[in-house]
Amino acid sequence: MKNIVLTGFMGTGKTAVSRELARLTGFNQVDVDAEIEKTAGMTITEIFAQFGEPYFRDLETAEIKKVSQGRNLIISTGGGAVLRQENMDALRANGVIICLTATPETIFERTKDNNERPLLQVEDPIKKIKELLSFRKPYYEKADIMIDTEGKTPHEIAEEILARIKEETPAS
């Protein structure tokens, strides 16, 4: 089986679902943002504050190119990884790309108590979520499979992902 790559906006469940997928498949779990933090020796928030988003996106691309060469992985990307076509190409070369979705209100509820979300440190976070979702929608839609996470547990979502992958990749 190819790597399973989880994309989607922050708060759609990528981290929790990737843990569950790793448990169900026996694949190793790789969180791109966590790998960036390890390599950089600082948090994503600190990287954004000190160097800006373009610098972070360069680090992200380098990390994606590195991890996407692995096998039997559950790869969880940051919400903006889809913005660069080279990221999508690298991830798709050895993986099936799954985009997790949720409503802006659900995303806000899931992220509102987390101060480590640099893009949401604004006066009206729901408005910002809607703006970012609208802008990123065509990028997210490039995924192989879209999964709505509303009202589902990470286990239910993981099971749905595995069933959809099986449906869409006939046995060879």
Domain containing residue 151: CATH number: 3.40.50.300
Measured distance CA(160)–CA(39) in Å, rounded: 33
pTM reported for the whole predicted model: 0.91
Q: pLDDT tens digits, residue range 78-114?
A: 888 999 999 999 999 999 999 999 999 999 888 877 6
Please state at what angle helix 32-40 crosses helix 44-51, rounded to 10 degrees: 60
Whether residue 172 is contained in a domain is answered as: no
Whether residue 171 is contained in a domain is answered as: no
Q: Which domain holds residue 122?
A: 3-166
HEC letters along 71-115: CCEEEECCCCHHHCHHHHHHHHHCEEEEEEECCHHHHHHHHCCCC
Whether residue 97 is contained in a domain is answered as: yes
Q: pLDDT tens digits, residue range 17-75?
A: 999 999 999 999 999 999 999 999 999 889 988 999 899 999 999 999 999 999 999 99
- The residues facing 7 across adjacent strands are 99
